[in-house]
Amino acid sequence: MNFSRPLKGLITGLVLITSLSMASISFAAVVAIENAKVATLTAAGTIESGAVHVSDGVITWVGLGSDAPVLGADAERIDAQGHWVTPGLIESHTQLGIVEINAESSSSDVRVEEFPMGPAFEVRYALNPASVLLPISRASGVTAAVVAPAAGNDPLAGVGVVISLRETLDPAEMLLTENLALFGGMGSRSAKFVGGSRSALMVRLREALTAAKRFSPGRYVADERGYSASDMAALKRWLSSGAPLALSVNQASHILQALALANDFKFPLIILSGAEAWKVAPQLAAAKVPVVLDAMANIPIDFDSLGARLDSAALLHKAGVTIAFTSENTHNAGWIRQGGGIAVANGLPFDAALAAITSGPAKIWGLDDRGVLAKGKVADLVIWSSDPLEVTTHAEKVMIDGEWTSLETRQGRLLERYRDVSNTVTPYGYR
Amino acid sequence: MTPVFVDGGAQKADPIGSRSGKGAAARALVPLMSALAGVLFAGSASAAPYDSTYAPLEAPAYVIDNATLLTGDGRRLDGAQIVLAAGKIVSVGTSAVELPANAVRIDGTGKWITPGLIDVHSHLGDYPAPAVQSTADGNEVTSPNTAHVWAEHSVWPQDPQFPLALAGGVTTLQILPGSANLFGGRGVTLKNVPSRTVQGMKFPGAKHALKMACGENPKRVYGSQGKAPGTRMGNMAGYRTAWAKAKEYVAKQDLAKQDDSEDPPDYNLQLETLAGVLRGEILVHNHCYRADEMANMIELAKEFDYKITAFHHAVESYKIADLLAEQNICSALWADWWGFKLEAFDAIEENIALVDAAGACAIVHSDSERGIQRLNQDAARAMAAAQRMGRDIDEAYAITWVTRNAAQALGIEQETGTLEPNKAADVVLWNQNPFSVYAQAEQVFIDGYRYFERDKRVPVTDFELHQTVQGGGSR
């Protein structure tokens, strides 16, 4: 995929960073993570007794510890005690930063309902860097996440972004990409909006895309229940940007329709969910269309997903399809590790599972400077207590942009308050 | 409710109880359902209406050698043997016993064995897959008090999610009505066996549950319709009104038993369920998230003198773990699911660890068709959180959260939930430590019958035939 991503390099980014953060960044010192099992997610593979050097937010060296360059006296040396170090996890489908509590509509900006807006909807204006979900996700090892609009009424739900989970108070600083992808769905919910049939949905999409190509604001007259001028302008913008359409679609036949649509209108396609994608894996591989899936989704939960199975990821990988995992649970984004583990138990090679939560999503979403541990890449990484895919493993240290981030969470504060309910020294409310 | 006259055949099942010696009119007042069932089951006089028709299948004896056993009562036995025969566990451990003739020997080297997992909170069958409108039978959202509905009457035994749960090692599960109502109805405990009828799945002798619900759901569902309850205080008023009526109902029934001149109250399905609780015949399983609401429910139980068996979801149990221990109330919990609603906002990963540390009964439950497939992994997460906060516990201890403690909350701890001689041979053979994400149940036994053999012999529901991926394991 070759679409524009106004991703700012770190140096450009630093210009924007507040003086407070500036003070905390040490430009000269090298952080060296030593005695680590380094999963590079590159051709270098996993290096036992490895080391990673970081400076100015960027990885400066990765390799066998015994080969490491000599460190200055001011280097911060971290003994990983043989534990795993991986790239920071990238969750490929969340609503992080745009929802606090799903059931409280006043705390949620994830979708447009009861208002005619589809492709023109953009999640980025609602991003809240103070969301308590961000530290919780960060503490689980997630360092970047796709933030996508949730399915609303329109088959095209709007434009998503990728955020970094770096500590910041400025929503603009969260953005790694702005115009990441247009999100949509071919589920029965989306079809309802156009009368109840997936055929009608396809007709609408094809008509809208055709019209968008020649859209001109002055001359456009919206049909009744057709797209507004702002939606059409957004569609045209997206089509010409080269950004992908990330389409939530499960039934194999619908996936083929989506492939045909992408082929006809020349846009990159990403399949989300894809319960039956394994059935059309060769076609997806040939079209270089990746799949973002929930590795735990094995239930024939609707008539689109009768072919759901636990070894979907293994089958797709074997066929050469690039995959990424999502937990499909914004509050528990860290569950993507468990999904990875379950995929391994069902035949996916371990390295491929690790890739599906690091380098795979980086590739799919065009995050060229993340997702692997290699010289020159942004230093987003995690030291794990053990095997990163195990449910009993936790993130010991999380680095974003070369900075060790706080692992303090609101949940951690609750634990401290209630760790000892028999405490009679400090009254409730003051702990 | 139209009273109907029935013949003596249904008397045995008369849910009002024995009223011999009362007037003829009162004796004839039995529910329509009993009447119909009496006709349907005419000829099989032994089974009361709706009773379990489950019978263990015949199976050979099994001897599994040299495995790691987590017994479900806190012990871990390495290199141990377990013998199953005639539906029961014959022996557990390394001591040599006389092996049954023709026993099937299984090499357990490198494998782990646990009791069959038990999920105390499931909606399988009531909310089956595919999850479409025509199968959504889990929540009778028509009145805040539907104590008269029974979850078992919605269970579709062909739900493809049952075999998926079996592949996750679940041998017993409680199906509860949903949580829209203050009183959702009766729950039922099932054996996770393929069956044409729900009666064929019912755990023989297991008590019914009464599903109650606190908090956001009832007040939202009814308040938004301009009906009561619209607030949490409205919730409480709703429970109290109903319990007061149930008290009166029970008092009238008791009086009629003692005094022939007193007529029993009109038979009332709703009040029968509440009366069953007051008499200790039905266990209260109470959906309740917030600590302060659980405390209110404890007061409510005090006011009307009933026992709360377990709070479900209970994401704030850790805030009142001491109170729950004192009251001997179980908490059925998720490891770390949170934030989907405000009353789930204060969930912490250490909830199970803290409840357990306070000496209260902790259970890992699913309330999820996904979670039920990996209760062992949720227990693993909860165990890891406990260890991180400094508790010295291991797998042998943590497995009790999905076995023994769950059995206790369902009142079936004498039958299942631990690996002990003479208990039901409800057993899971795992290919490795079940607290690993990579572990899979290889074989699952229920009452000694091998219902699941990964990649070899796996139940397939009618619905799945010729349309889903079959073979359970990879599904």
Average of pLDDT values for A389-411? 98
Contact A342 B475 (CB under 8 A): no
Cis peptide before B15 (omega within 30 of 0): no
B339 forms beta bridges with none
Instruction: Specify the pLDDT at position A382.
Output: 99
In the predicted structure, residue B193 carries a pLDDT above the cut 60: yes
d(CA B364, CA B376) in angstroms, rounded, equals 9
Instruction: Specify the pLDDT at position B8.
Output: 31
Instruction: Specify the pLDDT at position A431.
Output: 85
Instruction: Specify the pLDDT at position B10.
Output: 32
- The residue written with tokens 């109502």 in the block is B181
- CA-nearest residue to A423 within chain B is B322
Phi, psi (rounded to 5 degrees) for A262: -65, -40
Instruction: Give the DSSP letter of residue A43.
Output: T
**The B282-288 sheet, strands edge to edge:** B117-122, B170-175, B183-191, B208-213, B282-288, B308-313, B330-333, B362-364
Report the sign of the C-alpha dihedral through residues B325, B326, B332, B337, in that order. negative
Q: Is A7 on the interface with B (CB under 8 A)?
A: no
**Helix, strand, coil content of chain A in percent (nearest 5):** 30, 25, 45
Tokens linked to B238: 């709703």
Q: With pLDDT > 90 as the criterion, what percentage of chain B qualifies?
A: 86
In the predicted structure, residue A283 carries a pLDDT above the cut 80: yes
Q: Is A298 on the interface with B (CB under 8 A)?
A: yes
d(CA B42, CA A38) in angstroms, rounded, equals 71
- Considering chain B, what is the average pLDDT of its residues? 91
> How many angstroms away from the CA of A309 is the closest CA of chain B?
4
Q: Residue type for B170, please?
A: V
**E strand or H helix at B443:** strand B441-446
The residue of A95, A105, A354, A391 whose CB has the most chain B CBs within 10 angstroms, and thus the best one to mutate to test that interface, is A391
Contacts of B339 in chain A (CB under 8 A): 100-102, 133, 330-331
Instruction: Give the DSSP letter of residue A58.
Output: E
pLDDT confidence of B31, banded at 50, 70, 90?
very low
pLDDT per position as a tens digit, A294-311: 999 999 999 999 999 999
Exposure b/e, A214-253, CB count within 10 A at least 16 = b: ebeeeebeeeeeebebbbbbbbbbbbebebbbbbbbbbbe
d(CA B32, CA B13) in angstroms, rounded, equals 12
Average of pLDDT values for B179-203? 98
Instruction: Specify the pLDDT at position B472.
Output: 54
Contacts of A301 in chain B (CB under 8 A): 129-131, 369
Contacts of A133 in chain B (CB under 8 A): 339
Query: Which one, of B259, B253, B243, lies nearest residue B301 by Cα?
Result: B243
Contacts of B322 in chain A (CB under 8 A): 421-422
pLDDT per position as a tens digit, A313-364: 999 999 999 999 999 999 999 999 999 999 999 999 999 999 999 999 999 9
Answer whether A270's CB lies under 8 Å from A323's CB: no
Global pTM? 0.92
Task: Please state, in angstroms and as integers, the Cα–Cα distance from residue A47 to each residue in A68, A90, A399, B211, B279, following that order.
Answer: 13, 21, 19, 53, 65
Q: With pLDDT > 70 as the criterion, what percentage of chain A qualifies?
A: 94
Answer whether A18's CB lies under 8 Å from A170's CB: yes
Domains and CATH numbers, chain A: 89-369 (3.20.20.140)
Tokens linked to B298: 């404890």
**E strand or H helix at B251:** helix B232-258
Contacts of B294 in chain A (CB under 8 A): none
Tokens linked to A89: 């996890």
Contacts of A390 in chain B (CB under 8 A): 436-438
Contact B132 A308 (CB under 8 A): no
Answer whether B444's CB lies under 8 Å from B116's CB: yes
Pairing of strands B170-175, B117-122: parallel
Instruction: Specify the pLDDT at position A26.
Output: 45
Query: Which one, of B413, B454, B414, B411, lies nearest residue B431 by Cα?
Result: B454
> How many angstroms away from the CA of B468 is the closest CA of chain A?
5
- Residue B277, number of CB atoms within 10 A of its CB: 26
Contacts of A302 in chain B (CB under 8 A): 129-132
The residue of A421, A422, A424, A428 whose CB has the most chain B CBs within 10 angstroms, and thus the best one to mutate to test that interface, is A421
Contacts of B340 in chain A (CB under 8 A): 101-103, 331
pLDDT per position as a tens digit, B243-299: 999 999 999 999 999 999 999 999 999 999 999 999 999 999 999 999 999 999 999
The greatest distance separating any two alpha carbons of chain B, rounded to the nearest whole angstrom, comes to 70
Centroid of chain to Cα A114? 28
pLDDT confidence of A292, banded at 50, 70, 90?
very high
Q: With pLDDT > 70 as the criterion, what percentage of chain B qualifies?
A: 88
Tokens linked to B145: 């008090």
Phi, psi (rounded to 5 degrees) for B12: -55, -35
Answer whether B389's CB lies under 8 Å from B349's CB: no
Phi, psi (rounded to 5 degrees) for A136: -65, -45
pLDDT per position as a tens digit, B304-318: 999 999 999 999 999
* Pick from A307, A338, A414: CB nearest B468: A307
> How many angstroms away from the CA of B40 is the closest CA of chain A?
34
Specify whether the backbone of A109 is left (phi greater than 0), alpha (psi in -120 to 50) or beta. alpha
Task: Please state, in angstroms and as integers, the Cα–Cα distance from residue B157 to each residue in A17, B130, B170, following that order.
Answer: 59, 13, 15
Burial, A302: exposed, middle or buried (Cβ in 10 Å; 0-12, 13-18, 19+)?
Answer: middle
Instruction: Specify the pLDDT at position B96.
Output: 63
Contact A421 B373 (CB under 8 A): no
What number of C-beta contacts closer than 8 Å exist between A and B?
129
ipTM for the assembly: 0.92
Q: Residue type for A343, please?
A: A
Phi, psi (rounded to 5 degrees) for A59: -75, 125
Exposure b/e, B135-147, CB count within 10 A at least 16 = b: bebbbbbebbbbb
Alpha helices in A98-187 (DSSP H): 133-139, 171-174
Contact A299 B164 (CB under 8 A): yes
CATH number of this structure's domain B116-417, picked from the four choices 3.30.43.10, 3.40.50.10710, 3.20.20.140, 3.40.190.10: 3.20.20.140
Query: Which one, of B95, B93, B105, lies nearest residue B68 by Cα?
Result: B93
d(CA A109, CA A147) in angstroms, rounded, equals 11
- CA-nearest residue to A100 within chain B is B339
Tokens linked to A211: 């019209």
Contact A308 B475 (CB under 8 A): yes
In the predicted structure, residue A28 carries a pLDDT above the cut 60: no
pLDDT confidence of A187, banded at 50, 70, 90?
confident
Name the residue ranges covered by the structural domains of chain B.
1-51, 116-417
Instruction: Specify the pLDDT at position B47.
Output: 76
DSSP-based three-state secondary structure for B188: strand
pLDDT per position as a tens digit, A197-256: 999 999 999 999 999 999 998 889 888 778 999 999 999 999 999 999 999 999 999 999
Chain A from 366 to 395: CB within 8 A of any B CB: 389-394
DSSP B343-380: GGTT--TTHHHHHHHTT--EEE---STTGGGGHHHHHH
Chain A from 330 to 369: CB within 8 A of any B CB: 330-332, 338, 341-342, 344-347
Contacts of B320 in chain A (CB under 8 A): 421
> How many angstroms away from the CA of B291 is the closest CA of chain A?
12
d(CA B425, CA B448) in angstroms, rounded, equals 5
Average of pLDDT values for A153-166? 95
- The residue written with tokens 């095209």 in the block is A156
Query: Which one, of B196, B128, B140, B146, lies nearest residue B369 by Cα?
Result: B128
Query: Which one, of A287, A412, A417, A388, lies nearest residue A85 by Cα?
Result: A388
Contacts of A308 in chain B (CB under 8 A): 468-469, 475
* Pick from A133, A332, A338: CB nearest B337: A332
Tokens linked to A175: 């953005």
Instruction: Specify the pLDDT at position A313.
Output: 98
Give, rounded to a whole angstrom, the gap between the first and last alpha carbons of chain B.
45
Query: Which one, of A90, A179, A111, A48, lies nearest residue A361 by Cα?
Result: A90
The greatest distance separating any two alpha carbons of chain A, rounded to the nearest whole angstrom, comes to 74
> How many angstroms away from the CA of B474 is the closest CA of chain A?
5
pLDDT per position as a tens digit, B342-363: 999 999 999 999 999 999 999 9
In the predicted structure, residue B35 carries a pLDDT above the cut 50: no
Instruction: Specify the pLDDT at position B152.
Output: 98
pLDDT confidence of A189, banded at 50, 70, 90?
confident
pLDDT per position as a tens digit, B209-249: 999 999 999 999 999 999 999 999 999 999 999 999 999 99
Instruction: Specify the pLDDT at position A418.
Output: 95
* Pick from B342, B436, B440: CB nearest A101: B342
Contacts of B373 in chain A (CB under 8 A): 296, 298
Answer whether B438's CB lies under 8 Å from A341's CB: yes
pLDDT per position as a tens digit, B156-181: 999 999 999 999 999 999 999 999 99
Contacts of A295 in chain B (CB under 8 A): none
- The residue written with tokens 């089958």 in the block is A315
Answer whether B132's CB lies under 8 Å from A302's CB: yes
Torsion angle defined by CA atoms of residues B351, B357, B359 and B361, in that order, rounded to the nearest 10 degrees: 40
Q: Residue type for A269, please?
A: L
- Residue B55, number of CB atoms within 10 A of its CB: 10
Q: Is A306 on the interface with B (CB under 8 A)?
A: yes
